[in-house]
Every structure is written in structure tokens, then in C-alpha cells.
Amino acid sequence: MIQTFTLDDVVRFLYDEMNEDEARKIQESMLLDDELMDVYQQMLTVKSTLDCHPVRKEPSQSSIDKILNYSRSYDLQMAGE
């Protein structure tokens, strides 16, 4: 039986979130399916890039200022009603 794998499965494999049986099956499938192997290699490249250049997890001061200004203007609009 041929098993199909989703992008989520490839991500789970990439992050070692599969049990041994699942991992073995996807590895075997990648050996036989060039398209699946290409997807895995592309995701591996993306993961490596993200690992080398982590995403900033806090908003910029500019974003904070915009949110606070919007909130203040919203409060003024609500007070006028």
C-alpha cells in the first residue's frame, strides 16, 4: 500500500516529532518519491535559515506606539458616544 504524506508530516519528521515507525515510513517514501524528497529538502533549508536568523519575538517600538495611539483614539470615540 502506498502511503501519502502531507506537508504537516514532513514538518513533524523534520522536527523529530514522529514515532520510529512513522519516521521509517516517510524515509522510505522519500527514497522513492523525488517530489517528497524535494519538499523535505526545501523545508530543511528553511529550517536552517530560521535557526541561523531567529525571528524577532517582540514588537518594534513603532508597532507598540501605533497600537497605543489607536487605543487612545478608540477610547476618545467611545467616551463621546
- 52 part of a folded domain: yes
**Residue 53's CB: how many other CB atoms inside 10 A?**
8
Q: What is the pLDDT of residue 74?
A: 75
- 46 part of a folded domain: yes
Q: What is the pLDDT of residue 49?
A: 92
- 1 part of a folded domain: no
pLDDT category, 1, cuts 50, 70, 90?
low
Q: Considering its fold, how many domains does the chain have in total?
A: 1
**AA identity, residue 52:** C
- 2 part of a folded domain: no
Question: pLDDT (tens digit, 9 = 90+) per residue, 22-76?
Answer: 999 999 999 999 999 999 999 999 999 988 987 778 888 999 999 999 988 876 6
- 31 part of a folded domain: yes
Global pTM value: 0.64
- 72 part of a folded domain: yes
Q: What is the pLDDT of residue 55?
A: 76
Task: Identify the domain containing residue 63 by its residue range.
Answer: 7-80
